[in-house]
Amino acid sequence: MAKKLKQVLSVSRRTDIPAFYMPWFMQGIVRGHIDVENPFNRQVRQVPVSTQCVHTIVFWSKNFGPFLDGGYGERLQTMGYHLLFNFTVNSRDSLLEPSVPPLDRRIDQLEQLCRRFGATAVQWRFDPICHYSTFAGEVRTNLADFAVIAGAAGRCGITTCTTSFMDHYAKIARRARNKVTFSIPSEAEKKTILLSMEKILAPLNVQLTLCCETSILDGLPQTSTIRAGACISGRRIMALYGGRVSLRSDAGQRKAMGCGCTQSVDVGSYRLHPCHHNCLFCYANPACDRKAPV
């Protein structure tokens, strides 16, 4: 009988657990299972999280400060877990991301992650690219600090940058009301932006990859090195740590739009774990949108 594949934990696409909910997560690790609520019907299932079941934990965050300060990564490694980090580091912009730490502190966290866990375990996400106008009439993007962040990532030894353009949801427009007005760049503008980002990254040996941007990817010049990305890649995880995990596409993600992620189990909750970064463009449920759980 074939040996059962170990699972990959996604912690989490639904909220920022490293920034706000690590004590809750560690309680589940010690207990051996985490109760996960289905976001559609609120049914709860127990996800086993022992090292006999879990191959790698993939952490997603915009602020790894509490995670690093608490020594959680080292504790998990000592317990036998493999770790991978998706760190979203965007330009400083207090309008769009009002509650993330200052950029220099986030760059310091990026350097710490690479130093303590290895650059091969750290993936930099600059996501999403936003176009907007303020009510003072200024037309802006959030790309101002891209070259600065890229330089820091390159010096750390990070080899990829994953990006996408902002998706426009009605709840984002409501949240941004009286603050900014988001706009959608043309396909030609998007290509120009991506090729400019690629040019900045090339001498740093950092490859630009795209998340859920199939239509744009298909229209790029054949000479471009930009490729489709995967924030959770079973092949990358096995190359890093050996063992076996699923290489099947994650059915819960936007495969038709170009998501390259392989199967994982997300243990966060939109409802029970609101994100306190309160980013205007967030597709999930920032704390500013939420009432107390019932």
For the chain, the three-class secondary structure string (H helix, E strand, C coil) is CCCCCCEEEEECCCCCHHHHCHHHHHHHHHHCEEEEECCCCCCEEEEECCCCCEEEEEEEECCCHHHHHCCHHHHHHHHCCEEEEEEECCCCCCCCCCCCCCHHHHHHHHHHHHHHHCHHHEEEEEEEECEEEECCCCEEECCCCHHHHHHHHHHHCCCEEEEEECCCCHHHHHHHCCCEEEECCCHHHHHHHHHHHHHHHHHHCCEEEECCCHHHHHCCCCCCCCEECCCCCHHHHHHHHCCCCCCCECCCCCHHHCCCCECCEECCCCCCCCECCCCCCCCCCEHHHCCCCC
pLDDT tens for 149-172 read 999 999 999 999 999 999 998 889
Q: What is the pLDDT along the chain (294 residues), one digit of tens a residue?
A: 356 899 999 999 999 999 999 999 999 999 999 999 988 899 999 999 999 999 999 999 999 999 999 999 999 999 999 999 999 999 999 999 999 999 999 999 999 999 999 999 999 999 999 999 998 888 999 999 999 999 999 999 999 999 999 999 888 998 998 899 999 999 999 999 999 999 999 999 999 999 999 999 999 999 999 999 999 999 999 999 999 999 999 988 877 777 899 999 999 999 999 999 999 999 877 888 865 433
Identify the CA nearest to 22 among candidates 84, 78, 79, 66. Answer: 66
Q: How many CB atoms lie within 10 A of CB 291?
A: 7
pLDDT of residue 289: 82
What are the domain boundaries of the chain? 7-289
Q: Which fold has domain 7-289?
A: TIM Barrel (3.20.20)
Contacts of 49 (CB under 8 A, 6+ apart): 9, 28, 29, 32, 33, 34, 267
